[in-house]
């Protein structure tokens, strides 16, 4: 395959993403009604950035002009049209499909209008191709927060003259072990620059100390 051909749906993007999967199915039904064997596009990308599989990689696209083009180019359809421009998320989705095509050896990117007479995929996407298809890379899911395995430790000191409790050391068992005595001696009653408020709070919770326990 030579590459990927960009199309548009020539319709307004769906405002609500919950409508997009249904819209893909309605395009599929429309194309089936037109005598296609399936939805004509290899892939579709909605304005919210989701990539939908149409015919996929293994079956010839039916979207681009004729069999000359369809036998050489996969197709991807941006689910938008005249009067709209693709969102950043849509461009990222389109770009990810192009990148996958390139990884499969189909490095060339064209717009439908480059192959035959049509407005598709619109001036914006043709310009985007000419500019090298800039897009933010697909966002990777945020890593699942790790449950800290470190144990918050510290040392509290009660001042008998006023009853206040002072934090004289705070840290975590993993790294405090070897330095604990030195730190305690050094930091009694002195702001502990290396300890964040979160560290202090962790120690406070670990020692079940009152909220106003620490002077840090
Ligand atoms: Zn087209
Ligand atoms: Zn959507």
Q: Which ligand is closest to the CA of 13, given by its number?
A: 2
Q: pLDDT value at position 216?
A: 39
Q: Which ligand is closest to the CA of 24, given by its number?
A: 2
Q: pLDDT value at position 141?
A: 57
Query: What is the whole-number distance in angstroms between the Cα of residue 161 and the centre of ligand 1?
Result: 83
Q: pLDDT value at position 184?
A: 36
Looking at the predicted structure, is the pLDDT value of residue 201 above 90? Answer: no
Residue 205 pLDDT grade (very low, low, confident, very high; cuts 50, 70, 90): confident
- Side-chain half-sphere exposure of 55, counting CA atoms within 13 A: 21
Residue 203 to residue 165: CA distance in whole angstroms: 13
Looking at the predicted structure, is the pLDDT value of residue 170 above 50? Answer: yes
28 Cβ contact list (under 8 Å, min separation 6): 38, 39, 54
Q: Which ligand is closest to the CA of 15, given by its number?
A: 2
Residue ranges near ligand 1 (ion) with Cβ within 5 Å: 7, 112, 120
Looking at the predicted structure, is the pLDDT value of residue 189 above 50? Answer: no
Segment 163-179 mean pLDDT: 54
Q: Tens of pLDDT along 84-130?
A: 999 999 999 999 999 999 999 999 999 999 999 999 999 999 999 99
pTM over 0.85: no
The CATH architecture that domain 3-130 belongs to is 3-Layer(aba) Sandwich (3.40)
DSSP for 119-168? -TT-HHHHHHHHTT---PPPPPPPPPPPPP-SPEEEEEEE-TTT--EEEE
Neighbours of 90 (CB within 10 A): 24
- Do the beta carbons of residue 156 and residue 119 sit within 8 Å? no
Residue 185 pLDDT grade (very low, low, confident, very high; cuts 50, 70, 90): very low
Residue 154 pLDDT grade (very low, low, confident, very high; cuts 50, 70, 90): low
Query: What is the whole-number distance in angstroms between the Cα of residue 8 and the centre of ligand 1?
Result: 6
- Do the beta carbons of residue 216 and residue 191 sit within 8 Å? yes
Domain boundaries in the chain?
A: 3-130, 152-206
């Amino acid at each position: 395959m030579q590459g990927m051909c960009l199309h548009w749906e020539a319709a307004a993007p769906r405002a609500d993403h919950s409508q997009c999967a249904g819209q893909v199915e309605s395009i599929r039904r429309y194309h089936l009604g037109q005598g296609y064997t399936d939805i004509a596009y290899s892939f579709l990308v909605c304005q919210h950035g989701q990539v939908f599989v149409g015919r996929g990689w293994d079956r010839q696209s039916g979207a681009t002009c004729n069999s000359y083009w369809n036998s050489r180019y996969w197709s991807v359809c941006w689910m938008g049209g005249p009067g709209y421009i693709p969102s950043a998320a849509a461009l990222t989705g389109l770009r990810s499909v192009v990148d996958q095509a390139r990884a499969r050896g189909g490095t060339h990117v064209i717009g439908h209008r480059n192959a035959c007479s049509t407005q598709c995929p619109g001036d914006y996407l043709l310009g985007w191709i000419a500019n090298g298809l800039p897009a933010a890379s697909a966002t990777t899911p945020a890593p699942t927060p790790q449950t800290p395995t470190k144990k918050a430790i510290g040392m509290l000191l009660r001042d008998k003259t006023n009853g206040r409790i002072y934090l004289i050391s705070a840290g975590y068992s993993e790294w405090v072990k070897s330095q604990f005595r030195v730190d305690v001696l050094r930091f009694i009653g002195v702001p502990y620059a290396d300890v964040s408020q979160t560290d202090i709070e962790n120690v406070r919770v670990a020692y079940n100390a009152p909220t106003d326990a620490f002077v840090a």
